Amino acid sequence: RDPEMSRGLGDVYKRQPVLSQNGRKLKLKQSGLTGYSLLTDHNGEVFYQQIVQYMRDTLGSQGVQLLLNRMSERERKTQEADKNANTAESGDTVENYDSAMDKAAQESKNAQETPKGEFSTGQGNNSVVQPPSAVKNPITVIKRIMKMGVLELVLPLGKGISGKEINTGTLLSGREQQKGMDMPDGTTAENSYTASILFQQYLLDHLGNYTDPSTCGLAYQMEYIYGGRDNDMDNLKSVAAKLLFIREGVNFACLMADTGKRAQAEALATAIAAGFLVPPAAVVIETALILCWAFAESVLDVRELFAGGRIPLVKTSDQWQISLVNLSELMSGLDTFRRSDDSGMSYEDYLQVLILTVPKGKKVLRSMDMIENSIRSQGRPHFCLDSCIVALEAFADVNAENRKDFQVIRQYAYE
């Protein structure tokens, strides 16, 4: 074991046994350990509970309640956004836009003879019609943007990405762990919502992330807890993709509830359908426009978060960043359309909500990986959390002046 592990218990080991009491001579017959607990026992439950207790003591009851209120509201709204995003995604309206337009064009063609030369694109019977140049159709532009890499879209210009990697096989999650000896009182799992929030707040306070990277081990440690990959780039990519998905859900719901913006989408859809000479396609075009609008706004949202700004979880109409008529100009306006809102949530706030969705077991194990990795990078390359003793029970059989034998049992632990 790492010699530093025994710090705090060293005094226990160095003490000489007291072999006299009230003038009587005592003789030590035998002694030993009857149990000991390691920090990683019970799937890291000891580690987890120590952090939770530390946070309770640090924040106090009022601080804990404020934190709970803030996080529970964010979690509720994010879950709603996730549902909205899944609903929008399941429709595949943007992906099926081409086929829907072809179908509408065929229906229109069957209803009346199509004027010669209006629809031809040189692609055969399954060609997608093109509107006249007078009508701007942003759907085709946004469809191309959707195929781009997520980090390319959302990361600010001039800010690099960490290329750090780790060997997870040497960390706690990737190796066979040492186990302690069960203590008489055992360990009861703490699964309360309050505990999970306190644990996450501790992680945010002590581990690095994209906006405040760590100089020890991986730079984006909080992103590792969410993504679980062995390198910063892949973990950042997983967070960025999920943030974009959530923001799409929120923005889609905002658009659907905004009568003014719905009217704009309907008017443009009608104009595009008329330009295509396929009026039946207006409904499909309108839905695709709303999804494209939500996506474009989400790109700007996530880009602002990565730049250190704040974005409201749910927006009002006047907090919108990009207009419908500017959708086609999204790529040229990535850093001009954006705007922050001081009342909104930061990247770290959103990151906490994402990590709430990670199962407790994975969250605890990955956080222990990051702590091990950080300590090792600071000059202690053999540090192992599963060599940290947090409690032990010892016994001693003692004889008093060759007349009476008795046993002493003591427990020592970090409180």
Beta bridge mates, 397: 30, 407
* Residue 218 contacts residue 207 (beta carbons within 8 Å): no
Confidence check: pLDDT of 121 > 50: no
Task: Quote the radius of gyration of the chain (alpha carbons, Å).
Answer: 31
Quote the CA–CA distance of 37 and 50 in Å, as a whole number: 13
Least confident of 93-107, 129-143, 241-255, 260-274: 93-107
Report for 9-18, 85-94, 218-227, 314-323: range of highest mean pLDDT: 218-227
Task: Give the pLDDT of residue 223.
Answer: 97
Residue 1: pLDDT band with limits 50, 70, 90: very low
Confidence check: pLDDT of 365 > 90: yes
* Residue 142 contacts residue 330 (beta carbons within 8 Å): yes
Task: Give the pLDDT of residue 385.
Answer: 92
Mean pLDDT of 320-344: 87
Query: Which two three-digit tokens encode residue 236?
Result: 């950042």
Q: Quick one: how many helices (H) and strands (E) in the chain?
A: 12, 4
Confidence check: pLDDT of 262 > 90: yes
Q: Tell me whether strands 404-413 and 20-21 are parallel, antiparallel or unpaired.
A: unpaired
Q: Which among 92, 71, 94, 80 is positioned nearest to 246, based on CA atoms?
A: 80
Task: Give the pLDDT of residue 404.
Answer: 80
Confidence check: pLDDT of 108 > 90: no
End-to-end, the C-alpha distance of the chain in Å comes to: 22
For residue 362, the surrounding DSSP H or E stretch is helix 360-376
Task: Give the pLDDT of residue 391.
Answer: 87
Amino acid at 145: I
Rounded (10°) CA dihedral 293, 94, 264, 279: 170
Share of the chain above pLDDT 70, in %: 80
Confidence check: pLDDT of 114 > 60: no
Share of the chain above pLDDT 90, in %: 42
Residue 106: pLDDT band with limits 50, 70, 90: low
DSSP state letters, 149-207: -HHHHHSPTT------B--GGGSGGGSPPP--BPPTT-------HHHHHHHHHHHHHHS
Q: What are phi and psi of 253, to 5 degrees?
A: -65, -40
Confidence check: pLDDT of 415 > 60: yes
Least confident of 94-103, 144-153, 170-179: 94-103
Task: Give the pLDDT of residue 214.
Answer: 94
Task: Give the residue with greater pLDDT, 143 vs 12.
Answer: 143
Query: Which two three-digit tokens encode residue 171?
Result: 């960390």
pLDDT in tens, 379-395: 898 999 999 888 888 88
Report for 13-27, 110-124, 161-175: range of highest mean pLDDT: 161-175
Amino acid at 86: N
Quote the CA–CA distance of 129 and 121 in Å, as a whole number: 7
Task: Give the residue with greater pLDDT, 144 vs 34.
Answer: 144
* Backbone CA torsion sign across 193, 198, 201, 202: negative
Task: Give the residue with greater pLDDT, 403 vs 363.
Answer: 363
For residue 397, the surrounding DSSP H or E stretch is strand 389-400
Confidence check: pLDDT of 221 > 60: yes
Task: Give the pLDDT of residue 162.
Answer: 94
Residue 5: pLDDT band with limits 50, 70, 90: very low
For residue 409, the surrounding DSSP H or E stretch is strand 404-413
Mean pLDDT of 84-102: 63
Confidence check: pLDDT of 396 > 80: yes
Cα 80 to the chain's mean position, in Å? 16
